Amino acid sequence: MNERETWATRAGFILAAVGSAVGLGNIWQFPFKTAQFGGASFLIVYVIAALGIGLPAILAEFVIGRRSNLNTISAFEKLGHKNWRFVGALGLFTGFWILSYYSVVGGWVLRYIGGSLTGAYFGAPAKYFGQISAGMDALALHAVFMALVVVIVAAGIEDGIEKATKLMVPSIIVILGALAIFAFTLPGASEGYAYFLSPDFDALFANLGDIVPFAVGQAFFSLSLGMGAMITYASYIDGDQSLFGDGITIVFLNSFVGILAGLVVLPLLFAQGIDPNTSGAGAVFISVAGAFANIPGGQAIGLIFFLVVLIAALSSAISLLEVVVSWAIDNYDVTRPQMAILLGGVIFLLGVPSALDTAWLGWFDTLAYKFFLPVGVLGILIFVAWVYGAPALDEVMKGSGLGEGVGLTWLWLARTLVIVAVVATLVLGFQTLFLGESPAIIPPI
């Protein structure tokens, strides 16, 4: 069996977790979902969901990980609850599931970096997206993206993930900040800010049933919750740092980057008179690319923008692969590089349908954030708050320097309100899944 690795520093853990959280969810989906669901109204619900539901849930994952120092399945056994391994197994499955299409989108991003260099998408952005998003091109770049992920994960926790994310996360923040400043200088940008930052409460209350499941689902996806990514990362913690402190930092930075991305994308679109209210997998690619086509220096700005998206996507994708690799090397006598290559290959194959048909990709995505992730979060919360209970409280308090009351508040929130909110999200999400619009529950053929 291999000697288990640990993070070299506390900052290393935090940055890796932020890297996992900050990804396509923040830059690709968040600004567009915000636009689709009424701008600032959605933003408010999202921030409440991230703090009120996301934070207690991320702490629950940290508790399992740090207490057990094991992967997402074996952790439950180590904590004395073998029967709960199914929650970890669902997480492992979800890891394969999400990374398979996430990597396809990562491939699109690679293609758009090239497209910015050559100016290929400038003439007809929608047509370009149609050509590159599905088919052999998409498949080839899906392979390249997966290979990059495999290389980082194969290098290990300290030498691979920690080193990479220490560089990647600060770069994301600095570059997005610079782009936000650039977007500010565009004529017409102020309409974007008005839309993003001034809430319409009537619209909010009229559409609460639609907004809440999306906002909560988005918070889970964006914080990488519900499949053991945070369990796995926390399992490499060595020492008693404050989990509360880490959790708050991660939730804050994750929301901050989402908002920063909104401050880049929405002014950019409004400045060009492009309606951001177009949903779907291709939104960021078509409308943002269209905006770059019309601004001075668009080629360079486009290149920088898609480069940040790539960095964010990579730093998230490595956490998804790490979940499954960690499970394999904890349990079998195999090396990390072998498993990274093998499991990366399996995930590549699972992503083939998504690379060949964007409808399939949309269906994978919908099922993940409306079903697998909320169910995973629910399982983890019930386990930590109700089944595990007292030792969980002990673990969350360790190294926190806080009064017992804070821990008890967390435990009771996790036992009650948070669980109710997750169940409500699942029910509402289910309604739209079965009764509602496409993508339907039946996969596209």
Binding site for ligand TRP (CB under 6 A): 20-21, 23-26, 98, 221-222, 224, 226-227, 229, 316, 319-320, 373
The CB-of-172 to ligand TRP minimum distance in angstroms stands at 12
Task: Specify the residue, 95 or 407, whose C-beta has the smaller distance to ligand TRP.
Answer: 95
Task: Specify the residue, 132 or 317, whose C-beta has the smaller distance to ligand TRP.
Answer: 317
**Which tokens in the block code for residue 366?**
């919908």
Task: Specify the residue, 56 or 226, whose C-beta has the smaller distance to ligand TRP.
Answer: 226
* DSSP helix, strand, coil percent of the chain (3-state; round to 5): 80, 0, 20
- Give every CB contact of residue 391 below 8 A, 6+ residues apart in sequence: 67, 79
Task: Specify the residue, 229 or 419, whose C-beta has the smaller distance to ligand TRP.
Answer: 229
The CB-of-26 to ligand TRP minimum distance in angstroms stands at 5
Task: Specify the residue, 255 or 319, whose C-beta has the smaller distance to ligand TRP.
Answer: 319
- Give every CB contact of residue 292 below 8 A, 6+ residues apart in sequence: 116, 122, 298, 299, 301, 302, 305
The CB-of-283 to ligand TRP minimum distance in angstroms stands at 15
**Which tokens in the block code for residue 73?**
């399945």
Task: Specify the residue, 75 or 189, whose C-beta has the smaller distance to ligand TRP.
Answer: 75
The CB-of-308 to ligand TRP minimum distance in angstroms stands at 13
Give the torsion sign (CA, 68, 71, 74, 75).
Answer: positive
The CB-of-216 to ligand TRP minimum distance in angstroms stands at 13
Residue 177 phi/psi, 5-degree rounding, is -60, -45
As a whole number of angstroms, the distance between CA 390 and CA 395 comes to 9
The CB-of-206 to ligand TRP minimum distance in angstroms stands at 28
Contact call for residues 284 and 291 (beta carbons, < 8 A)? no
Burial of 102 (0-12, 13-18, 19+ CB in 10 A): buried
